[in-house]
Amino acid sequence: MRIIKNRIRKGVVTKSIDMGFLANAEIETMGVELKKIIHERFSRSFHIREVDTGSCGACESEIIATTNPIYDIQRFGINFVASPRHADCLLVTGPVSKNMAVALKKTYEAMPEPKFVITLGNCAYDGGIFKDAYYTESGVASILPVTFHIPGCPPKPIDIIKAILTFLKKG
Partner 1 sequence: MDYKAALKEINEKMNLEFSILHLSEDEVYLLASPDDFKNICLALHKLLHAPVASFFAQDARKEKGAFKIYCSFMSAKYKKWFFVVTEIPQDNPKFDSLAKEIYSASLFEREIKEMFGIEPIGNPDLRRLRLHDEIWPNDVYPLRKDFKVPELNNVSGVYCFNKVEGEGIFEIPVGPVHAGIIGPGHFRFSSVGEPIINLEIRLGFTHRGIEKFFEGKNAGDALRICECVSGDASFAHSLSYAMAIEKISGIKVLDDTRLMRAVFLELERMYNHINDIGGMAVDVGFSFPAAFASIVKENILQLNEKITGSRYLRNINCIGGITMAWDKDKTQILRDSLKKIYKDFDEIKKILLSSVSFMDRADGTGILKKKTAEDMGITGLAGRASGIAVDLRKDFPGIYGEVNFNLIKQATGDCLGRLFMRISEFEDSIKLIRQFLDKLETHRSDAPPHKSTGLTVEDRRVRDPLISGIRPQAAAQSNSDIKEGFALGYVESWRGPVLYWVKLDKAGAIERCKIVDASFLNWQGLSFCVLGDIIPDFPLCNKSFDLSYSGNDL
Is 77 or 93 the residue whose CB approaches ligand SF4 more closely? 93
We find the least distance from the C-beta atom of residue 125 to ligand SF4, in angstroms, to be 8
Side chain identity at 155, as an amino acid letter? P
Sequence-distant (6+) residues with CB within 8 A of 114 are 88
Is 77 or 94 the residue whose CB approaches ligand SF4 more closely? 94
Contact 93, 59 (CB under 8 A): yes
How far CA 156 is from CA of 27, 35, 60, in Å, comes to 13, 20, 11
Contacting ligand SF4 (CB under 6 A), which of 53, 93, 107, 119?
A: 93
Asked if 31 interacts with partner 1 (CB under 8 A), we say no
Q: Of how many residues is the chain composed?
A: 171
Compute the distance between CA of residue 163 and CA of residue 155 in angstroms, rounded to an integer. 10
Sequence-distant (6+) residues with CB within 8 A of 84 are 49, 90, 107, 108, 110, 111
Asked if 122 interacts with ligand SF4 (CB under 6 A), we say yes
Count, residues near partner 1 per rule CB under 8 A: 53
Contacting partner 1 (CB under 8 A), which of 35, 42, 47, 80?
A: 80
User: Rg of the chain over CA atoms, in angstroms?
Assistant: 17
Angle at 86 between CA 119 and CA 89, to 5 degrees: 20
Asked if 8 interacts with partner 1 (CB under 8 A), we say no
Under rule CB under 8 A, which residues in 84-143 are in contact with partner 1?
Answer: 94-95, 97-100, 102-103, 107, 123, 128-130, 133-136
Contacting partner 1 (CB under 8 A), which of 45, 47, 65, 162?
A: 65
Contacting ligand SF4 (CB under 6 A), which of 84, 94, 139, 157?
A: 94
Is 30 or 100 the residue whose CB approaches partner 1 more closely? 100
Q: Write out the residues near ligand SF4 by the rule CB under 6 A.
A: 55-56, 58-59, 93-94, 121-123, 128-129, 153-154
